[in-house]
Amino acid sequence: MAISVATLDWGNRTPDLFIDSMVKSAKVLDRFRLIDGVKSKVQVPIFDASLTFGSDLCTFDGLSSASIDEKEMTVSTYKWAFLNCKNVLESTYRSVLLKQGQHNEETMDAQFKDWVFDYFAKLSAQKALELAATTLATEMGADATVLDYDTNAAVSSANVLSLMEGAYQTMSDVMLAAVYGDADRALKPAFFMGTAAVQAYQIAIAGLYTTTAQGVVEGNIPAYYGMEVVHFPSMAAGEFFISAPENVVMLTDEYNDVRAIDMKWEAELSSDKIWGQFKLGFSYLKGDEIVYAKNFA
């Protein structure tokens, strides 16, 4: 998603920065695997292979295998619209920043234009975060291959470490191998936790120190059981999941779309029509490499 705004000058903004600004505003989205070019749905390949070993040099046992599975993933369209009338800013103190006469397309001063770009990107990021959390939680909750861990309680600073330990003990052998370095470390799992859970975790970790560690002072989020703790702010307070970040997928139709936000001057209304639209979807590759922790009661 990006920006292309008629003849208005957007300072140092370039047409391909909008979706990038959105993703960077929500750092967790930048950790997911990106699948681009999806207009409605796509069959995503999932590769697997196994080796069968023998010892007879003179025998060819073709028992090893490789396979390609496919998982259907979809995107949905999201749009917003904003009518910006010239007289709104003309009636305020900022009117001194508007330098042209009445019959022109000047409705926003340069400072406001920059702020609008950044803030629309931030609001779009919030929408993407909400969509990611609800979509992933719904899919994980209905997927029998996902490894469920029932917390049987709300997450708090008093129990968060024991709950994370329980989820850790629920991990599959493949997930554990990635943590210990016995498998592909690029697929090393991480804890994905909402704001309240991360806050509880930081308080619990700080309570373990007899002296205050510098990382605690600086507000760092330390790893636990060798796994990164990733802040996923839109996740519900009472749940978290463990997965390799690359196992989680974000889909869009065109990452560098230069028309994801656009503007049209309506002379008879003395107004700019500003609107944005983009496609997003979220899913994951392998449910059996995810531990989903929540109170299932």
Q: Is the pLDDT of residue 11 over 50?
A: no
The C-alpha angle with vertex 245 and arms to 239 and 50, in degrees rounded to 5, equals 115
Note whether residue 275 is domain-resident. yes
- Give the H or E element holding residue 43: strand 41-50
In a domain, 230, yes or no: yes
Which position has the higher pLDDT, 254 or 214? 254
Task: Check residue 89 and give its pLDDT.
Answer: 66
Q: How confident is the model at residue 218 (pLDDT cuts 50, 70, 90)?
A: low
Q: Is 275 exposed, middle or buried (0-12, 13-18, 19+ CB in 10 A)?
A: middle
CATH number assigned to the domain comprising residue 211: 3.90.1690
In a domain, 262, yes or no: yes
What's the CA gap between 292 and 137, in Å, rounded? Answer: 8
Which segment, 122-136, 150-164, 255-269, is predicted with the most confidence on average? 150-164
- At 140, the pLDDT band (50, 70, 90 cuts) reads very high
CA 242 to CA 147: how far, in whole Å?
Answer: 10
Q: How far is CA 54 from CA 20, 51, 59, 60, 295, in A?
A: 50, 10, 9, 9, 47
- Structure tokens, 67: 């396979």
Q: Which domain holds residue 187?
A: 3-53+64-294
Domain-embedded: residue 229: yes
Number of domains making up the chain: 1
pLDDT at 1 over 50: no
Asked, for residue 86, whether it belongs to a domain, the answer is yes
Rg (CA), the chain: 24
| pLDDT score of 12 more than 60 | no
- Of residues 11 and 214, which shows the higher confidence score? 214
In a domain, 59, yes or no: no
pLDDT at 84 over 90: no
Q: pLDDT tens, 32-63?
A: 999 988 999 999 988 888 889 988 889 888 88
pLDDT in tens, 92-135: 656 666 666 665 556 666 677 777 777 877 888 888 899 999 99
Please provide the average confidence, as pLDDT, over all residues in the chain.
Answer: 82
d(CA 284, CA 15): 30
Residue at 58 is within a domain: no
* Range of weakest confidence among 2-11, 174-183, 195-204: 2-11
Asked whether residue 137 is domain-assigned, the answer is yes
